[in-house]
Amino acid sequence: MSDASTACVDLLERLIAFDTTSDRSNLALIHFVRDLLAEQGIEATLVPSACGEKANLYATIGPRDRPGVMLSGHTDTVPVTGQAWGSDPYRLTAKGQRLYGRGTADMKGFLAAVLAAVPAMARAELAAPIHLAFSHDEEVGCLGVRSLLEAMRRFRVRPAACVVGEPTSMRLATAHKGKLAGRIEVTGRACHSGMAPEGINAIQAAAPLIQWFAGTAAAKAEQGPFDTRFAIPYTTLQLGTMAGGTALNIVPARCRLDFEVRNVPDEDPQALLAPLMAEIDRLDAELKACHPEAGVTLSWLGDYPGLAMAEEGELVALILSLLAEPGRERIGFGTEAGLFQRELGIPTLVCGPGSMAQGHQPDEYVTREQLGRCEAFLARLTEALADPEAVARLDRACASLDSV
């Protein structure tokens, strides 16, 4: 297997130089990609965010009256704040096989491989198109892609299938867990700690809710439901952050709990949280009875659905035939794939270069070998979409509704 092409590494260097941390604009990168595609005669559509400081990009290579395959990836990255890097995270640093930089694995390596393949895609006489979908704000809850989904609902022809290029070491992932994140805010009544009975301690009031999370998490580990194809085969719950109080000698008037649920695809997180919401209602009424300004509120921070594809489906077999890595797996991290599947009915798989073991970490890297594997896959995909027989197989596979 050949290592990454010079074109791919050069493009990765350009992409890494754009600081697209989720709290910043991605427009410079998006405009770079748009102009790069225009050089090949490919028109890109930009779907801006509500604030106008970010955008998704969508482009079609080949015939526009056929469904084809969509290659999807996000352009944003996580912060480097507080991380000890051995090199500038926004300058690609090569050390042998490893290419270091923020986003090399998650997931600008995939974007670079796709863009390096665009000239060959544009030259090919494709019988079915290749669509490119590059999003923003994936790292903060798969938020940015939702405006692209709304735009795609109006498309006369949608992609027949999608491959999301998150880092899987170029192994085909057919499923991942969903996520639901929320915030509980408990309001009590402050007073001097020497007169504590006259106040309402918000931190202590939150204790039953903390115990509910601990108990429910333990019950999930013991009782399931289980999906043994995941490394952690059950739904997990955790309290990620807690904040409350101002000083030791003041009864705390506020307590905030941020939590998340990572559910196996067959479990409904809203149903799982129904007892929690009942406990919140009970506690809210109890606190209000003590003081009208006290109480408990619940708000949602974000969610995305799990992904579940039939592992023995024809679409999976077709994509596997284009990969050097046999076998299927289920991944523990979330992606936009479940949204494409749920919102648009597009059968979606996950496969990309690099490993999430390096994603979000200091000295993040992807190897030249992994990028080379991705480029080889994209070349075989392009060849397949230029073959009418392979396209007919794709159409049959997607018509059979591989998603479950």
Annotated catalytic residues are 76, 138
Q: Is 184 helix (H, G, I), strand (E, B) or coil?
A: strand
Q: How far apart are CA 112 and CA 13, in angstroms?
A: 9
Q: Is 314 helix (H, G, I), strand (E, B) or coil?
A: helix
Per residue, the 3-state secondary structure of 249-270, as one string, reads CECCCEEEEEEEEEECCCCCHH
Other CB atoms within a 10 A radius of the CB of residue 326 amount to 9
CA-CA-CA-CA torsion sign (363, 367, 373, 378): positive
CA angle 297, 299, 303 (to 5 degrees): 155
303 within 8 A of 272, measured Cβ to Cβ: no
Percent helix / strand / coil, the chain, rounded to 5: 35, 25, 40
Give the H or E element holding residue 167.
Answer: none
Half-sphere exposure of 177 (CA within 13 A, CB side): 25
